[in-house]
Amino acid sequence: MTDTSHISDHLSPLTKEEQDLLDLYAKVKQFEREAAVAKAEAAKAKLDAANEEFQREQEGSTSPTEVVTNSEIKKKKKTKKRKRTDDTGGDDDYLRSDDEDNAELTDTDDEEKQTFRRNEAKIEKLRQERDIVAKQMEKEQASVKKEEQFRKELLESNQGAVDLSGPSLKKKRTNYDLERKSTSLITNMNPNTTPPHDFSKSLGMKSTNGIQLFPDKSKSSESPSDMIWSPPKDASYPEDRCLELDLQEFDSEKVANGEGNNTVAIKFSCPSDSKRFSINIAEPSHENYHSVLFHFNPRQFERGGQVVINDKQVGVWGQGINIPLSTLPLMFGEVSCTLIIQINGDGFDIYMNGQHCARLEHRTPLPQKAKKLILQCPSTDDYNNREDWSIYKIWWGHKPSMASTDLINIPGVNSHISVHSKKLFVSGLPKIHSQPEIDLRRAELERAFRKYGGLQGVTVICPPNSTFAFVEVETERAADNALREMIDKYPRINRARRSRHEALLEQRAAKEAENNGIVKETSEWD
């Protein structure tokens, strides 16, 4: 196998994909040499077998008597030739005596001569095949040596041209590389192809309109392990050694006008067996991420695979936007992916590998005047399960809006955002699993909020495998009293958000009541 250690020394650090490619190249070359040797050995074995077969036929078909007879016939033939030379009979006598000789040899030597000639033809053909194979082997070995020498010289000459700030392999194109046509995997790589862990030039992620936040180029002493971030394997909570970066010089007024820093680009990869990963964008006063402006969370094995996009206000998650993974570009098991988040006056636009996936419209006002936002990549989920993915590069700066004019089919565009007047959202509860636990929690909440439910009592919904519940009271005033009086017992209590479907049902019910002349208590929900 070809030794690739000197290549790794010159180009360190190499990514796993580049090292695998070099190892594959070495294996291919080894297989080519082994195949050529095996082909030559097969030809030689075939030639030896033919020789042995010919010798066995000679030994089996020729007897001592026949050998003597044949020698005597040959002597007689020579004697007759000498007589023809001295004879004055001319050409006719010569032709006649030659025909006689052929007649004498036909009966005794015809079968032996045919077998001999057939064997001679076989041996000659095998010798020609052997010579052809030997020449091909010599030619291939010379080509391999020439290619190895050229690759070594090329890598040594480019040693000073390698950019150690990122795990990329750069090569110079030469006239020799353009003229030659080789089956080598390394030399056939397109030098203009973007490395898998770098941004494509077509995206316009330049230093003139932004900065590279990760890895930090200003830190020249960074070790190769600092060039890639992954959640620590022993992380015990979301903020435990998470990746936090400042999105500096963010101005909401400029963003609304299409100016200023508005784009975050993340180059990452996620193993095929990873369950999930997440990204948060928050204000500096997030209080340990108790409030989050933007939350992006792909979940591979939940409900057939989905991406959850949401926000959090004072510890309460909003109405999430759930998008099936089957409708989006592949994220899990790919060599690398590019996630782009653009902030505009309407909301957060999400692009995965160039496809506009969704929009989370602003649910809380963006921070005013020039300040910064915080980008967080948590180490675990809310239940302290480690998130598995790797980040290679993060860019922050200005980029023109990538959204098209037609946003009808984009999830989250023009979504309905409102709150219930009588339904409360209670979170931060212990997680429940079995049906007896669900019944026990429902009974506990019904007893705790009983005085706010009137004669009919309260309605409690406890989803399985959850840490929250919904409590619907009698009136809006009762909901206000419950929020004020139950805050000590349930610190994470707030009004529940209405979905678009619930809003449509309530509008329909109000319209029917109006047509029937029924006056209902109204409030400013919309």
Q: Which residues of 302-321 are buried (b: 16+ CB within 10 A; e: fewer)?
A: eeebbbbbbbbeebbbbbbb
Averaged pLDDT, 165-186? 41
Cα angle 400, 401, 403; round to 5 = 150
User: How many Å separate Cα 283 from the centre of its chain?
Assistant: 32
33 three-class SS: helix
Higher pLDDT, 286 or 154: 286
**Rounded distance, CA 206 to CA 215, Å?**
15
Token pair recorded at residue 389 = 């993915």
- Other Cβ atoms less than 10 A from the Cβ of 368: the count is 9
pLDDT in tens, 430-482: 988 888 999 999 999 999 999 999 888 899 998 887 888 999 999 999 999 99
pLDDT band at 311 (very low <50, low <70, confident <90, very high): very high
Token pair recorded at residue 175 = 């006239």
* Predicted pLDDT of residue 337: 95
Q: Which residues of 40-77 are buried (b: 16+ CB within 10 A; e: fewer)?
A: eeebeeebeebeeebeeeeeeeeeeeeeeeeeeeeeeb
**Rounded distance, CA 303 to CA 412, Å?**
19
**Rounded distance, CA 274 to CA 174, Å?**
42
* Predicted pLDDT of residue 5: 52
**Rounded distance, CA 248 to CA 396, Å?**
9
**Rounded distance, CA 73 to CA 108, Å?**
9
* 426: β partners: 469, 493
**Closest among 135, 140, 188, 132 to 33, alpha carbons compared:** 140
Is residue 213 within 8 Å of 395, Cβ to Cβ? yes
- DSSP codes joined into one string, 290-317: TSEEEEEEEESSSTTSEEEEEEEETTEE
* Predicted pLDDT of residue 53: 84
pLDDT band at 4 (very low <50, low <70, confident <90, very high): low
pLDDT at 145 over 60: yes
**Rounded distance, CA 291 to CA 414, Å?**
23
Measured distance between the N- and C-terminal CA atoms of the chain, rounded to whole angstroms: 71
Beta strands in 78-229 (DSSP E): 210-214
Higher pLDDT, 133 or 110: 133
**Rounded distance, CA 193 to CA 195, Å?**
6
DSSP state of 12: P
pLDDT at 356 over 70: yes
Higher pLDDT, 28 or 497: 28
- In this prediction the pTM is 0.48
The count of residues in the chain is 526
39 three-class SS: helix
